[in-house]
Amino acid sequence: MPPRPHKLLRNAEGKLDAKSLNWPMFETFAASELGEGSERARKVFTALWQKGVRSFDEVPNVARTALKKFDEAMYIPFLEPELVLKSKDGTRKFLWKLEDGYTIESVLIPDGDRVTLCVSSQVGCAMACTFCLTGDLGLKRHLKPSEIAGQPMQVGRLLDEGQRITNIVMMGMGEPLHNLDNLCTALETCLDDKALNFSHRKITVSTVGLVPKMGELAERLPVNLAVSLNATTEERRREIMPITKKHSLAELIQACKDFPLPSGKRITFEYVMFRGDNDTLEDAARLYEMLKDIPTKLNLIPYNENPEREIQRPDQQWVEDFREYFVERGMNCTIRTTRGLDISAACGQLGKAWAQAMDRGWLEQARAMAGMGEAPSAGA
Ligand code: SAH
């Protein structure tokens, strides 16, 4: 499949973004445009993703004349870390500067043996969920495949010795299914053993419920699905998640029932809890009824409060009692621990806080303050 046109797929010199092609696209391009065979293309592709070469002449074991052809047709984009913030709890937030000056974020969450990277799919977001700060930005643009897969690649290279990303969750800025083509191309590179070599069991795509795209994702990739529910009635969900006006809650639940799950797999349902709003016993009962016939992992997320919203999180005991309702009935239900609150890396905090930090010149301050900001070493 030829790459979909994207204005940033070519740079100012007209060269193609080498990392926005998955392997089949790369192989086809090498053959049809450069007259280079599969074996050479594979060496170049692997060097891009596994060695992190910055120019084609660094690719090992390929003739210079061939590399020159690649170099004339393609360029190698690199996500540059603008800043890395470290939380007291070990969470790290990476701020990346994109080619056109926009910034996006990834969050690394180490938790015992599990090291999860929360990856962004868009600059901003068009979904406008009322409680989410990323939504306030609106959609600036989709991320290219190289900018999506570049996040796990680059974080992997910046990790401490012996540390490795074990899981990828598409739960950063943006609605991944709104950028499905680029997402799939990027995830194919994440899954490819010639590139980042992740297992499909370790990749989760989270959606507000773009119903028609859910089936399409399942057809294209065998990754895990997470759905952000956040309300138990049509009325309330329409108010807080406007996408519900297009695809109703009922339609979304039906799509989850129809979702082709391999045996043993479950759909993760994220349920952000707002105090005195969606956290009542009636909500628990409706939520249970809604999900009881679906292989479910229910993940309760106590709302992360922020100065821009009046919304409050329920007390911890309340959240635990709410969870008990599901556990007693045999439903898999967990509470998401809040991580990285002190660096605005927790759920729903991405994007906006950064925009403000930049406005306030806070970025420079953070860099200057030891222990708070860590400017990555040059060339890292
Ligand atoms: N657009 C996708 C991917 C983003 S995931 C989706 O909505 O699923 C981000 C998750 O954080 C979503 O489940 C969202 O409901 C949740 N969220 C947003 N703001 C939050 C906040 N302030 N506190 C806790 N969770 C929040």
> Which atom of ligand 1 sits closest to the CA of residue 270?
13
CATH of domain 80-366: 3.20.20.70
Any atom of ligand 1 within 6 Å of the Cβ of 272: yes
* Gap from CA of 206 to ligand 1 centroid (Å): 9
Any atom of ligand 1 within 6 Å of the Cβ of 173: no
CA distance 345 to 90: 11
Closest-CA residue, ligand 1 atom 3, reads 171
Three-class SS of residue 369?
Answer: coil
> Which atom of ligand 1 sits closest to the CA of residue 125?
1
Segment 321-339, tens digit of pLDDT: 999 999 999 999 999 988 8
Query: Which of 77-86, 119-128, 174-183, 279-288 shows the lowest per-residue confidence on average (mean pLDDT)?
Result: 77-86
Q: In the chain, pLDDT over 70 holds for what percent of residues?
A: 89
Told to judge if 347 belongs to the known catalytic residues of this protein, a careful annotator would answer yes
| Contact assessment for residue 313 and residue 304, using Cβ atoms and an 8 Å cutoff | yes
The whole-number pLDDT of residue 361 equals 53
The whole-number pLDDT of residue 343 equals 80
Closest-CA residue, ligand 1 atom 11, reads 347
The whole-number pLDDT of residue 263 equals 82
Using CB atoms within 10 Å of the CB of residue 376, give its burial: 0 to 12 exposed, 13 to 18 middle, 19+ buried.
Answer: middle
Residue 240 backbone phi and psi in degrees, to 5: -95, -25
Domain 7-75 has CATH 3.40.50.1000: no
* Gap from CA of 132 to ligand 1 centroid (Å): 7
Single-letter residue type at 6: H
Closest-CA residue, ligand 1 atom 26, reads 348
- Other beta carbons within 10 Å of 105: 25
* Gap from CA of 321 to ligand 1 centroid (Å): 22
* Gap from CA of 65 to ligand 1 centroid (Å): 49
Q: Confidence class of residue 359 from pLDDT cuts 50, 70 and 90?
A: low
The whole-number pLDDT of residue 376 equals 36
Closest-CA residue, ligand 1 atom 19, reads 348
| Contact assessment for residue 133 and residue 308, using Cβ atoms and an 8 Å cutoff | yes
CA distance 321 to 221: 36
Told to judge if 33 belongs to the known catalytic residues of this protein, a careful annotator would answer no
Candidates 27, 36, 82, 105; catalytic one: 105
In this prediction, residues 27-32 reach a mean pLDDT of: 96
Query: Can you give the residue ranges of every domain in the chain?
Result: 7-75, 80-366
Closest-CA residue, ligand 1 atom 12, reads 228
80-366 shares the fold of 7-75: no
> Which atom of ligand 1 sits closest to the CA of residue 127?
1
Three-class SS of residue 53?
Answer: coil
In this prediction, residues 185-193 reach a mean pLDDT of: 98
The whole-number pLDDT of residue 2 equals 44
In this prediction, residues 32-57 reach a mean pLDDT of: 98
Task: Please provide the average confidence, as pLDDT, over all residues in the chain.
Answer: 91
Segment 1-13, tens digit of pLDDT: 444 445 669 999 9
Whole-Å CA distances, 76 to 99, 141, 252, 279, 306: 12, 21, 39, 48, 38
